[in-house]
Structure 1
Amino acid sequence: MRRLARDPQAIITTTLILIIVAAGFLGPIFLAVDPNQADLRSANALPGTPGHPLGADQSGRDILARLLASAQTSAISGLIGAGVALVVGVTMGLIGGYFGRRTSAVTEWVFNLVMTFPGVLLLIVLTPVTGGDYRFTMLIFGFMLSPTIFRITRNLVMGTKQELFVDAARVSGLSNTRILGRHVLSAVRGPIIVATAFLIGTAIATQAGLAFLGIGSSAVPSFGSMVGEGFTNLTRRPLQFLWPSLVLGILTASLVLLGNALRDALEGLRTVPPRRGRTESPAEPVSMGEEDEAPLLRIRHLAIGYPSTTGEIEEVVHGVDLDVRAGEILGLVGESGSGKTQTAFAVLGLLPPEAVITRGSVQLNGRELLGLSGEELRTYRGKTIAYIPQEPMSNLDPSYRVGSQLVESLRATSTLSNREAKERVLALLARVGIPDPQRVFRMYPFEISGGMAQRVLIAGAVASRPALLIADEPTTALDVTVQAEILDLLRDLQAELGMAVLLVTHNFGVVADLCESMAVMQKGRIVETGKVRQTFAEPQADYTRTLLDSILDEDTVRTDPPVAPRDHKEVAR
């Protein structure tokens, strides 16, 4: 908005549009002249004639009164046409872009069918149905404009639904309707607003064109009918043609230029590409740790694949077995691309639509999670399972204040009132070490630091006292000092709330500092599990030894010559 306020093109065009629309609705009140009142004595009166400031047409009707009434007709036409297009196109675009391929394919087919109809010809054919009422005509035309908005919205939503803040909202337990209406729509609204300016101009021009052709009621003043009548009288009174053409041209040109200004103002916005990719090809495991008899989280034989270019499913996670006991902190460690995040997302139900779980089981407290619908998973997300993401700034919606997002998530997973939820959120912000909770509560995400954003997300994750907390690289995007503070905070909260924690990381230092048990992943397989101290002291898998050997000697400065790998027992100490 600030950029628009400094743009002369936006200021001028907005002013012109407001003047014309205001004159159309307020002018007839002050002028008090019937635009359809004919007086043959005033036929073709020149501008300046008493009672006719801009003259009269060949039927003796006042041109100024008809211009004002025509401006009102154009404004209503534009609002109806663009309004219907927005309601239909945006709603179906959100649905088609957010939900699965089948829904997308059905909505795409329907709107492709709508686009095959010849617009103006269809409106002419349906004149007996509409009775010549331009409002019903524009209602139908709005449906014919909706495919444009549908395509824009659907394409934007398909990219936005991969954003981290959408995943965070889903994990917080928000319903799909709430996510679409509050988070996704706010993220894609910019191009829709730009398109709306062009849609209004299109609807106005179409209504004027139909009136020029004589389609519609002759009792309704319109720029199109005035242009048509002025054209027949062009040689005698050219101004009768000029006035409506000039006002209509200014109105439609202003809408087009305003749309361009809006586009320029929003040019800086970017769409973040989907962040999930395939992992590497399978590798053989070396060993498996022993099982726990009654784990809180029990993963068995989990395999995840993606369609290849040939249509076959290529597995990226191969038969993972993993247990997390109540109150335990387990580190799932491995290189980038080892499949650890895919495994965590399978537990959360956040795998991308193209992912295929080919086999396996994921049980939480004995309840199978795989195969549950989104609504069924929502009863667990934010309540029993919570999630702390890797990139805190990308998981907060930049359109809303920090406090409103936390309150929204808490109320979605509890029966608290808005006031009670706000009080708990403020208490949690203070608990996670934010010095001025009230101030941060009112701030937008881009106004806080990365470390503070991570604390905010931790507060939101533990707000409902979950049984299982999944933390995906929670300290990767932070500097060393803040990392230590966040790890201390997680340790304290875990002990205080008795949560089980599944920590996804590639950092052995974090595992050594925070975890009791660990599981090592390589190329989609668990290659070793066990207690942290035992695994560090006596690693069984060659891959684990390789990872431990790659740990830098913290006692050596960069200018020192390379040192021989230390004994794994020494590393463990």
Structure 2
Amino acid sequence: MSDTAAFPTRSSQRASRRPLQAPQALRTLLRSPLGMLGLAWLVVIVVASLTAPLWLPYPIEYQDFSAVLAGPSAAHLLGTDELGRDVLSRIFAAGAGSLITTFLAAVVAIGVALPLALIAAASSARIETIINRVTEIAMSIPALVIIIAVIGAVGTNLYLVMTCLGLLIAGGIYRVFVGQAKSLQSQLYVDAAEVDGLRPAMVSIRHILPNMATTIFVQFVLVFAIGLMLQAGLAFIGFGPQPPEPSWGGLIQSASKQIYVHPWLMVPTGLVLVFTVLGANAVADTLAGGQGAPPSQVALGPEARRRRRELKAAAPVAVESAPEGMLIVKGLTIGVDDGPELVSSVSFEVAPGTVLGVVGESGCGKTLTALSLVGLLPPGVNPREGSIRWGARDLARLDESGLAAIRGREIGFVGQEPMRALDPMFTIGYQLAGAVRRLRGVGKADARAEAASLLGKVGIVDAERVLRSYPHQISGGMAQRVAIALALAGRPKLLIADEPTTALDVTVQAEILSLLRGLVAETGMSMVMVTHDFGVVADICDEVVVMYAGQVIESGTVHDVLGAAEHPYTTALLAADPHAGLGVVGQERLASIPGQVPQPRDWPTGCRFADRCAFAQPQCVVPVPLIARDRGDGGVRCVRVHELQLGRLDDPVPLDAATPVDGGADPTAPTTAAAPARNGKVRS
């Protein structure tokens, strides 16, 4: 479960289902009888109309005065009109013009809406807000009134009229596109592409646009149907092609005059028009089945604009350079624009060649902290205070171009779900070789060879087969190895791993941890490992930071924290962890921590763990700073740390000395949670 699920983030706003891809869309149509009927009719009517001059039985002006208002016959398959003209010939002669001009309206609508949606999804909230307001104005304009005004000004130029229709309807299509584009923009494979150095425009073209193919086609067909009906309606009221040039709306208007004398005349043209619209809708409905709802938009309020101006003004402020290859995070505070803080004053250091573990329950801010290190915070979430020093740069204040120069090349990123970090539209080889080419500037052949080499480094034996495979053709463990290979494509000095083993089984987890441990030893890079599992921390990490409710509540070396934890929350987590808790002498079952992590809006002013802590006292309601540990380096955020001495191995305090604050947890509940650290016996 993501740590950011408690507040609005890109990961919590994802659409529930992935859009259909082109081959899958074709298979969906072939399996649907209704969709196939609609598609077959559209193909027949389009081909017949466009080739009408080659096969029409009569010229459109030919009049057979011996068969005026005649019904269907061998000479006239669909009968004749009031002037003895062949109805079949006039229907299909009119079809080409109707279909071409309607096609133009759909092209204009999609051609305007799609680029705007891609720009809005990839840009800042300010640009998105501006585009939203412009499209809302376009949607508020009565299209029919404007079209009639255009006809009054320039005449019945259907090409111009349908172009105006496309422009006016583009606003509504944009709203559909921007929802899906923002949903796709939140996918991990888009983040991976950004980390690999792909520019936002190329991300939209290579990753967002192909995954929107079905939605684009669906909206195109729907606009086509709307345009066809509107064009017929205009011709019916006299704003279409003028006689003797035929049009479907004009044919229906002429037939309506004979409705009481010869009702059959209404049937052929009416059915062709109705079946064409129904066919287009049937295809669109078949393809649109199961599409997920778009996520909500991120508003840009006055407070958000003020904070962004302050951050931009503070950008030139110089910060002390970090040593080469060292990451120094100091006082980092992250919050929602016009909203609460999500991470409060987080500080830690990662030296070259070391692994830092970040541990805590879901909702504690681990993932947000990790994402801030590579500038991938969700829209509307930004650093407010503090610094992230990497060399001479402060990553918290860099703009997108500055971050793009670092992502992938100096800092790599591995996300939680490997299958979502890979674009399903492309093969593994295409994605991995493309990353190598972007980040290292090599040719195609060298990039392909390096991609195979990277797969070998992450333990994939049959590299050539995997390079030819699509993401859905490989297992979860292999996908995680590929994701790690992608992160290594630019030879980074620091790797951010956000719960890289969460979605894997135990055996594969051990293999991935062994792989990461070997890569650190071989390459000398450093790593920040976000995890829930103390077993993972004990296996691979050198130092550990324990987070709770957006704060660092304990930090130190793995030996100090896991062997002699001093914060009640850390001891409770150890007792609840199957890797550590079951190794405690005298403990028969795993402990649990009552309650849950509070929401950011509900954070208390004092100790944020007090409501769940059996050792809480009235003095815990005041703000708590980090206090130096009794043993080893690091700190503990607990005002009673020296009094409780939970980390002492020789003289543990009696549990009945703890008295909870009013409304606090049952003091007996976390009794076993405190035991592991006091006994100091943890199995790693």
TM-score by length of 2: 0.74
- Does residue 89 of the first structure (1) align with residue 113 of the second (2)? yes
Q: Distance in 2 between matches of 1:145 and 1:173?
A: 36
Letter of the 2:524 counterpart: G
Q: Distance in 2 between matches of 1:553 and 1:39?
A: 95
Aligned to 1:146: 170
Aligned to 1:279: none
Aligned to 2:442: 416
Aligned to 2:123: 99
Q: Distance in 2 between matches of 1:5 and 1:557?
A: 64
Q: Shift of the alpha carbon at 1:454?
A: 0.5
Provide Cα deviations, 1:124-146, integer angstroms capped at 9, x if missing partner. Answer: 21115544221221111111221
Q: Distance in 2 between matches of 1:378 and 1:30?
A: 59
Aligned to 1:502: 528
Provide Cα deviations, 1:513-572, integer angstroms capped at 9, x if missing partner. Answer: 112223332332333433323444444545444444444455699995789647665437
Paired residues for 1:318-397 under 5 Å: 318-397=344-423
C-alpha change, 1:210 and 1:500, in structure 2 (3 Å) is same
Provide Cα deviations, 1:275-328, integer angstroms capped at 9, x if missing partner. Answer: x9xxxxxxxxxxxxxx98666212111111225xxx5x4223221222112222
Aligned to 2:477: 451
Aligned to 1:5: 30
For the 8 Å contact 1:45–1:52, the answer to whether it is kept is no
Provide Cα deviations, 1:469-494, integer angstroms capped at 9, x if missing partner. Answer: 10111112212211111011111222
Bigger mean CA offset, 524-533 vs 193-202: 524-533
Q: Distance in 1 between matches of 2:293 and 2:281?
A: 24
For the 8 Å contact 1:28–1:68, the answer to whether it is kept is no
Paired residues for 1:68-83 under 5 Å: 68-83=92-107
Q: Distance in 2 between matches of 1:548 and 1:259?
A: 54
Q: Shift of the alpha carbon at 1:15?
A: 0.8
Which residue of the other structure, out of 137, 150, 175, is the alignment partner of 1:113? 137
Q: Distance in 2 between matches of 1:161 and 1:193?
A: 20
Letter of the 2:150 counterpart: L
Q: Shift of the alpha carbon at 1:34?
A: 4.0
Aligned to 1:159: 183
Which residue of the other structure, out of 158, 172, 196, is the alignment partner of 1:134? 158
Which residue of the other structure, out of 305, 317, 330, is the alignment partner of 1:300? 330
Letter of the 2:388 counterpart: V
Q: CA RMSD, aligned part only? A: 3.0
Provide Cα deviations, 1:141-168, integer angstroms capped at 9, x if missing partner. Answer: 1112212211111222333333333322
For the 8 Å contact 2:360–2:532, the answer to whether it is kept is yes
C-alpha change, 1:13 and 1:537, in structure 2 (3 Å) is closer
Aligned to 1:65: 89
Bigger mean CA offset, 458-467 vs 556-565: 556-565
Q: Distance in 2 between matches of 1:58 and 1:132?
A: 25
Q: Distance in 2 between matches of 1:543 and 1:51?
A: 91
Count, aligned residues = 550
For the 8 Å contact 1:362–1:368, the answer to whether it is kept is yes
Q: Distance in 1 between matches of 2:325 and 2:482?
A: 29
Aligned to 1:286: none
C-alpha change, 1:547 and 1:46, in structure 2 (3 Å) is closer
TM-score by length of 1: 0.87
Q: Shift of the alpha carbon at 1:450?
A: 1.4
Q: Secondary structure at the match of 2:343?
A: strand
C-alpha change, 1:253 and 1:506, in structure 2 (3 Å) is closer
Q: Distance in 1 between matches of 2:181 and 2:585?
A: 49
Q: Distance in 2 between matches of 1:196 and 1:368?
A: 46
Q: Distance in 1 between matches of 2:325 and 2:451?
A: 31
Q: Shift of the alpha carbon at 1:186?
A: 3.6
Which residue of the other structure, out of 16, 26, 29, is the alignment partner of 2:54? 29
- Does residue 183 of the first structure (1) align with residue 202 of the second (2)? no
For the 8 Å contact 1:88–1:146, the answer to whether it is kept is yes
Q: Distance in 2 between matches of 1:374 and 1:393?
A: 26
Q: Secondary structure at the match of 1:370?
A: helix
Bigger mean CA offset, 502-511 vs 401-410: 401-410
Q: Shift of the alpha carbon at 1:405?
A: 2.4
Q: Distance in 2 between matches of 1:550 and 1:45?
A: 88
Q: Shift of the alpha carbon at 1:88?
A: 1.2
Q: Distance in 1 between matches of 2:53 and 2:78?
A: 15
Letter of the 1:502 counterpart: V
Q: Secondary structure at the match of 1:221?
A: coil
C-alpha change, 1:527 and 1:293, in structure 2 (3 Å) is farther
Aligned to 1:198: 222
Aligned to 2:269: 244
Q: Shift of the alpha carbon at 1:232?
A: 2.7
Q: Distance in 2 between matches of 1:396 and 1:561?
A: 40
Q: Distance in 1 between matches of 2:212 and 2:574?
A: 45
* Identity score, percent: 35
Q: Secondary structure at the match of 1:322?
A: strand
- Does residue 490 of the first structure (1) align with residue 601 of the second (2)? no
Q: Distance in 2 between matches of 1:340 and 1:246?
A: 61
For the 8 Å contact 2:575–2:581, the answer to whether it is kept is no
Letter of the 1:30 counterpart: W
Q: Please, which runs of 5 or more residues in structure 2 have no aligned partner?
A: 1-25, 299-320, 591-671
Q: Distance in 2 between matches of 1:561 and 1:484?
A: 24
Which residue of the other structure, out of 253, 257, 267, is the alignment partner of 2:282? 257
Q: Please, which runs of 5 or more residues in structure 1 have no aligned partner?
A: 277-290
C-alpha change, 1:43 and 1:375, in structure 2 (3 Å) is farther
Letter of the 1:172 counterpart: D
Q: Secondary structure at the match of 1:571?
A: coil
Q: Distance in 2 between matches of 1:548 and 1:209?
A: 72
For the 8 Å contact 2:411–2:494, the answer to whether it is kept is yes
Letter of the 2:55 counterpart: F
Q: Distance in 2 between matches of 1:236 and 1:272?
A: 52
Letter of the 2:329 counterpart: I
Q: Distance in 1 between matches of 2:185 and 2:382?
A: 18
For the 8 Å contact 2:322–2:390, the answer to whether it is kept is no
Q: Distance in 2 between matches of 1:129 and 1:558?
A: 91
C-alpha change, 1:169 and 1:220, in structure 2 (3 Å) is farther
For the 8 Å contact 2:354–2:542, the answer to whether it is kept is yes
